[in-house]
Amino acid sequence: MKWITRERPKIDRIACPWLIRRFIDPDAEIIFAPAAEVLPQAKTLDAIPFDMPGVEYSHYDDRCTFDYFLKKHQLKDAALERIAVIVRGADTDRHDFSAQSAGLEAIFSGLAYNIKNDHELLELGMTIYDGLYSWARHLYHLKHTQAGPVEQMLLEVFHKYIQKKDSQQVPDWANELKEIIQDQMDTNFTLSLKDISKDLDINPTYLSREFSKYFDNLSYGEYIRKMRIEKAIDLLKNTGYSLTEIAYLTGFSDQSHFTRVFRQQMGTTPSSYKKQLLKGKENTKR
């Protein structure tokens, strides 16, 4: 089968031919042509055009052509999904999608600058994406200091958990983040958004922007305060700790800070809330 796209490929038009040959059509012939000649040549050569405006295999919504190939051919592969995020960020200049997108773009921009023959560039790109796929499939959990030289060549080419929001599915990073936050609440560790970004291997800017979509429309700071107050209420109900002790156990700097945030969220002070709890218990005993 023949596939045709615009000449002078760099990101999507290298990633897509690699995907075609490795997962869709091993014997595919890839043709590069000037943009104005792609569609006429597609008809003449009976080739499938891709990464062109107005053709089936192209960008859609905020996704790249690489994403469309995965969707169209139902390629359910976690490693390919990881690569798709990196390619998408590099091809659309959205480096906040993945910390590795900028590196991928830099590599292929430099190669395209040095290599003027499109097919020569593609052959080298095939090798690079083979390495990227092996890493995304088997080695993504390793840091660059743990991996070998081959795995380092794409600057840690993998961005763990970043997926575009799906209305029917909460991304993995959001579920893991809930567990991290809960663990922080239970152990009273100080946890910043920067620390979480490192733990999840997610760009902190992206995490900050996307956080509220999956956490009750609250910012990270608002959500943490909500969790602290919920834990404080549990301690007020089920322990004999003083307000100072509860403030400490829920991560507030002091009792006055605890009281101020508690009043903002609950409409009353923790002292008044505790009195109401005690009054309620007394009434139940009568």
Q: Output the average pLDDT for the chain.
A: 80
Shared domain check, 254 and 139? no
Task: Pick the more confident residue, 165 or 134.
Answer: 134
The reported pLDDT for the residue numbered 226 is 86
Shared domain check, 236 and 188? yes
Shared domain check, 207 and 109? no
pTM: 0.51
Instruction: Select from 120, 152, 184 the last residue of a domain.
Output: 152
Q: Which residues make Cβ contacts (< 8 Å) with residue 246, sequence separation at least 6?
A: 232, 235, 236, 239, 258, 270
Of the given ranges (2-6, 158-162, 191-195), which has the lowest mean pLDDT?
158-162
Residue 285, pLDDT > 80, answer no
Cβ(139)–Cβ(147) under 8 Å? yes
Shared domain check, 100 and 45? yes
Residue 286 located in a structural domain: no
Shared domain check, 43 and 118? yes
Residue 122 located in a structural domain: yes
Which candidate, 223, 228, 179, 222, places its Cα nearest to that of 200? 179
Task: Pick the more confident residue, 201 or 152.
Answer: 201
Cβ(95)–Cβ(101) under 8 Å? yes
Provide the number of structural domains found in the chain.
2
Residue 101, pLDDT > 70, answer yes
DSSP for the chain, written as a single string: -EEEEESS--SHHHHHHHHIIIII-TTPEEEEE-GGGHHHHHHHHT-EEBSSTTSSBS-BTTB-HHHHHHHHTT---HHHHHHHHHHHHHHTT-TTS-TTHHHHHHHHHHHHHH---HHHHHHHHHHHHHHHHHIIIIITTS-TTTS-HHHHTTSS---TT----BTTB--HHHHHHHHHHHHHHHHT----HHHHHHHHT--HHHHHHHHHHHTTT--HHHHHHHHHHHHHHHHHHH----HHHHHHHTT-SSHHHHHHHHHHHHSS-HHHHHHHHHHHHHHHH-
Cβ(82)–Cβ(48) under 8 Å? no
Query: Mean pLDDT across the stretch 89-93?
Result: 85
Shared domain check, 177 and 135? no
Of the given ranges (81-85, 100-104, 198-202), which has the lowest mean pLDDT?
198-202
* Sign of the torsion angle spanned by Cα atoms 131, 80, 77, 26: negative
The reported pLDDT for the residue numbered 207 is 80
Instruction: Select from 117, 152, 187 the last residue of a domain.
Output: 152
Domain that holds residue 213: 172-278
Largest CA distance in the chain: 92
Q: How confident is the model at residue 233 (pLDDT cuts 50, 70, 90)?
A: very high
The reported pLDDT for the residue numbered 286 is 58
Shared domain check, 7 and 147? yes
Shared domain check, 226 and 122? no
Task: Give residue 152's Cα distance to chain centre.
Answer: 20
How do residues 104-113 score in pLDDT, each as one tens digit?
A: 889 999 999 9
Shared domain check, 192 and 140? no
Residue 142 located in a structural domain: yes
Cβ(278)–Cβ(239) under 8 Å? no
Two structure tokens written together for 262: 């508690």
Shared domain check, 145 and 15? yes
Out of 186-190, 205-209, 250-254, the most confident range is: 205-209
Q: Write the CATH number for 213.
A: 1.10.10.60
The reported pLDDT for the residue numbered 245 is 81
Residue 283 located in a structural domain: no
Residue 285 located in a structural domain: no
Of the given ranges (88-92, 243-247, 258-262), which has the lowest mean pLDDT?
243-247
Residue 165 located in a structural domain: no
> What residue has token string 């834990």?
231
Instruction: Select from 152, 183, 210 the last residue of a domain.
Output: 152
Residue 144 located in a structural domain: yes
Question: pLDDT > 90: what percent of the chain?
Answer: 38
The reported pLDDT for the residue numbered 261 is 87
Residue 163 located in a structural domain: no
Shared domain check, 177 and 147? no
Shared domain check, 184 and 148? no
Which candidate, 248, 250, 181, 261, places its Cα nearest to that of 215? 181
Cβ(122)–Cβ(129) under 8 Å? no
